[in-house]
Every structure is written in C-alpha cells, then in structure tokens.
C-alpha cells in the first residue's frame, strides 16, 4: 500500500477503534467474505486501519518484503486455518502467531524479498506500445 483514497481526522481516530500502523508492517485481512480474508499487503506508508486487519511489525532480523511475500503466497493456507465454514470464517491473532516463517539469513531475505517485489512491480506496469 503506497497511498490511500480516504483519510481519517484526528477526532475520528480518537473516537474510533482505528489504530496507527507503521510503515513496513505486513497487513493480513482477518475477516471478509469472498477473497478478502487471508489477503496480505505491506504498508509502504504509515496508515490507520480497524480491527479487521492485523498489522505485523517484525524485528530487525526479518526483512518486511520477505515476510510479506511469504505470507502472501500462503493465502490458501490462511483461508484453511480460519474459523468458520470457509465462507464467513475469520482469522485471529492466535492463528497468525502460530504461523511459522522459515528465515534464511537477512541478506538472503533481502534478495528474495526484493526479487519478488520487483517482479510484482513488473507485472503491474501498464503495457506500452
């Protein structure tokens, strides 16, 4: 996520369940029908969100783009572990904290994360004649 169409006022933030999310956090949709639940994103800007999104901030031993790519590739797994009948289920903090991410060295994480981020950017570039 590099930008947002909607913004929250300071008063709105103070009077809601919205929370500030730090840049570099990996976001996972906890709820939602259709394809929403289990989708992952990475915050490229500080932003706010509600309790339907889990924001994971990793320590310095985890490269955020690597963690995002790992979790994004596990969409089906996240859907399968979510509670419910598969249509109206939900994920929660416990389910996410039980997930394991294999961690190569930080240097390898950076190479892998940057490679797939670059590939994602190439895929989303508009076609030019």
- Count how many residues are written for the chain: 129
DSSP state letter for 30: -
Q: Environment class of residue 63 by beta-carbon count within 10 Å: exposed (0-12), middle (13-18) or buried (19+)?
A: buried
**What's the pLDDT tens digit per position in 34-52?**
788 899 999 998 888 888 8
SS3 content of the chain, % helix, strand, coil (to 5): 35, 15, 50
Report the topology of domain 10-124.
Adenine-n6-DNA-methyltransferase TaqI; Chain A, domain 2 (3.90.220)
Which tens digits make up the pLDDT trace of 9-23? 777 777 777 788 889
Nearest to 90 by CA among 49, 43, 31: 31
What's the whole-model pTM score? 0.76
DSSP string, 60-97: TTS-HHHHHHHHHTTHHHHHHHSSSSSSS----HHHHH
Q: Which two tokens stand for residue 128?
A: 């030019």
DSSP code for 127: P
Q: What is the pLDDT of residues 54-94, one digit of tens each?
A: 999 999 999 999 999 999 999 999 988 886 654 567 888 88
**Domain boundaries in the chain?**
10-124
């Amino acid at each position: 996520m590099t930008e947002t169409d909607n913004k929250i006022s300071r008063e709105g933030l103070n009077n809601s369940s919205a929370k500030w999310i730090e840049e570099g956090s990996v976001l996972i949709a906890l709820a939602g029908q259709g394809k929403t639940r289990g989708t992952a994103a990475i915050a490229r800007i500080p932003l706010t969100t509600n309790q339907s999104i889990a924001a994971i901030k990793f320590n310095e031993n985890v490269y955020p783009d690597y963690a995002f790519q790992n979790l994004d590739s596990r969409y089906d797994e996240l859907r399968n572990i979510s509670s419910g009948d598969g249509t109206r289920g939900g994920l929660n903090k416990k389910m996410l904290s039980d997930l394991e991410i294999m961690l190569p060295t930080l240097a390898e994480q950076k190479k892998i994360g940057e490679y797939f981020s670059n590939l994602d950017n190439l895929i989303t570039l508009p076609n030019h004649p």
